[in-house]
């Protein structure tokens, strides 16, 4: 934070640089705080909350993993993420193929409906969905939640894939048609391989969403052995006595998959988000 003292002496470009640096420090501080706290013992944390740890203490990670619940929650989150992202991707690509390459009645209205559904918050749907899921015995099952996630991700996924499919040149399709390819094989052998970047974007954006989702996981997976990582973490807040460094270790482990996913796919991720807004 010491950089702030330099503001008066710096003009123009320098002042801007300082503002950006301050914003960056503000963005990074909670992340820094989480990481350094995870490596402190309880006493070290109480004595020195924001400084670097004097010795690296790995006990917190052992505490976070103890009892095996953490593994279970981690596994549940993985199962839901892989299942819902995979299924929604397949369904969205099929629908996008129709939107991008075929003409049919109500096409425009239907596509507008897909766009509109993107902004409907899940909270609106949980009460009736819960009543329905109880009747169908799907509460406390992976399938029930994967089904809900799939439906909620479809509007954005279809929108993104449709926009991408529209950019595939007609000549490629025409060439395949001359070779006598069927519509489905054009979809499967031409559109899907050419869409790898868009598919990557979609996988990353959707995986982040499912991994971070709380409300539906909270309502539909109430059995202890089915709870997700985020539900487990959220429950820590209501405890009276909290071991903050151990909690921070848990938070750090829960965050790592996301940061890794992001760093490996940064350009796809940003492209996907941007394509929703600016064309």
Partner 1 sequence: MKYKKWEPWLYLSPALIALAFVFALPVLRLIVLSVQRKSKGEMIFVGAANYTSLLKDDVFLEAVGNNLYLLISVPIMVGVALLLAIFLFEGIRAWRFYQITLFLPFLLPIVVVGLVFSYIFQLSGVLNEFLTAIGLGRFALDWLGSTKLALPTVMFVVIWKEVGLGVILFLARLMSVEEELFDAAKIDGANWWEMQWHITIPQLSMAIEFFTIISVITMLSWVFNYVFVITAGGPGNSTMVTELYVYLQGFRYNQMNLAAAASMLILAVTIIIIFIQFRLREGQAGWEEF
Closest to 193 (Cα-Cα) out of 93, 66, 119, 91: 93
Q: Which of 11, 102, 169, 180 binds partner 1 (CB under 8 A)?
A: 102
Least separation in angstroms between CB 266 and partner 1? 7
Least separation in angstroms between CB 58 and partner 1? 20
- Tokens 């944390």 sit on residue: 45
Closest to 100 (Cα-Cα) out of 183, 203, 2, 17: 183
According to the binding rule CB under 8 A, does residue 178 interact with partner 1? no
Rank residues 57 and 161 by Cβ distance to partner 1 and give the closer one: 161
According to the binding rule CB under 8 A, does residue 236 interact with partner 1? yes
According to the binding rule CB under 8 A, does residue 131 interact with partner 1? yes
Q: Which one-letter DSSP state was computed for residue 120? A: -
- Cβ-in-10-Å burial (0-12, 13-18, 19+) of 135 comes to exposed
> Using alpha carbons only, how large is the chain's radius of gyration in Å?
24
Rank residues 104 and 241 by Cβ distance to partner 1 and give the closer one: 104
Rank residues 62 and 127 by Cβ distance to partner 1 and give the closer one: 127
According to the binding rule CB under 8 A, does residue 7 interact with partner 1? no
Q: Which of 160, 195, 251, 268 binds partner 1 (CB under 8 A)?
A: 251
3-state secondary structure of 47: helix
What are the angstrom distances between the C-alpha of 4 and each of 9, 17, 55, 263?
11, 11, 29, 29
Q: Which of 8, 9, 11, 104 binds partner 1 (CB under 8 A)?
A: 104
Q: Which of 101, 141, 142, 192 binds partner 1 (CB under 8 A)?
A: 101
Q: Which of 78, 168, 192, 258 binds partner 1 (CB under 8 A)?
A: 258
* Number of C-beta neighbours around residue 28 at 10 A: 11
Q: Which of 27, 54, 66, 143 binds partner 1 (CB under 8 A)?
A: 27
Q: How far apart are CA 88 and CA 152, in angstroms?
A: 9
Q: CB within 8 A of 44, min separation 6: which ones?
A: 53, 54, 55, 57, 245
Q: How far apart are CA 107 and CA 99, in angstroms?
A: 7
Per-position x/- string for 51-80, each x denoting binding to partner 1 as judged by CB under 8 A, each - no binding: ------------------------------
Least separation in angstroms between CB 229 and partner 1? 8
Straight-line distance from the first to the last Cα atom of the chain, in angstroms, rounded to the nearest whole number: 38
Q: Which segment (53-61, 67-75, 93-101, 189-197) binds partner 1 by CB under 8 A?
A: 93-101
Least separation in angstroms between CB 109 and partner 1? 10
According to the binding rule CB under 8 A, does residue 3 interact with partner 1? no
Q: Which segment (3-11, 68-76, 188-196, 236-244) binds partner 1 by CB under 8 A?
A: 236-244
Rank residues 85 and 254 by Cβ distance to partner 1 and give the closer one: 254
Under a CB-based contact definition with an 8 Å cutoff, are residues 190 and 172 in contact?
yes
Q: How far apart are CA 258 and CA 78, in angstroms?
A: 12
- Cβ-in-10-Å burial (0-12, 13-18, 19+) of 110 comes to middle
Least separation in angstroms between CB 276 and partner 1? 8
Q: Which of 10, 33, 82, 175 binds partner 1 (CB under 8 A)?
A: 33
């Amino acid at each position: 934070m010491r950089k702030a003292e330099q503001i008066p002496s710096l003009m123009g470009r320098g002042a801007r640089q300082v503002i950006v640096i301050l914003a960056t420090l503000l963005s990074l501080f909670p992340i820094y705080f989480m990481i350094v706290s995870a490596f402190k013992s309880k006493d070290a944390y109480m004595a020195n909350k924001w400084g670097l740890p004097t010795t690296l203490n790995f006990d917190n990670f052992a505490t976070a993993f103890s009892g095996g619940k953490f593994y279970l929650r981690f596994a549940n989150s993985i199962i839901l993420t892989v299942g819902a992202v995979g299924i929604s991707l397949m369904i969205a690509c099929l629908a996008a193929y129709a939107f991008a390459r075929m003409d049919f009645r109500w096409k425009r209205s239907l596509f507008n409906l897909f766009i509109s559904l993107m902004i409907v918050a899940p909270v609106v749907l949980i009460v009736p969905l819960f009543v329905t899921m109880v009747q169908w015995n799907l509460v406390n099952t992976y399938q029930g939640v994967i089904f809900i996630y799939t439906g909620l991700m479809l509007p954005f996924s279809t929108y993104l894939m449709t926009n991408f499919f529209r950019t595939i040149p007609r000549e490629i399709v025409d060439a395949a048609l001359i070779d006598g390819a069927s519509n489905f094989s054009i979809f499967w052998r031409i559109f899907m391989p050419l869409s790898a970047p868009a598919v990557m974007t979609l996988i990353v954006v959707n995986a982040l969403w499912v991994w971070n989702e709380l409300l539906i996981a909270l309502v539909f997976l109430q059995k202890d052995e089915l709870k997700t990582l985020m539900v487990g973490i959220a429950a820590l807040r209501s405890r009276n006595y909290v071991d903050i460094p151990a909690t921070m270790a848990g938070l750090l482990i829960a965050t790592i998959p996301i940061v890794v996913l992001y760093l490996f796919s940064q350009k796809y991720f940003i492209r996907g988000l941007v394509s929703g807004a600016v064309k």
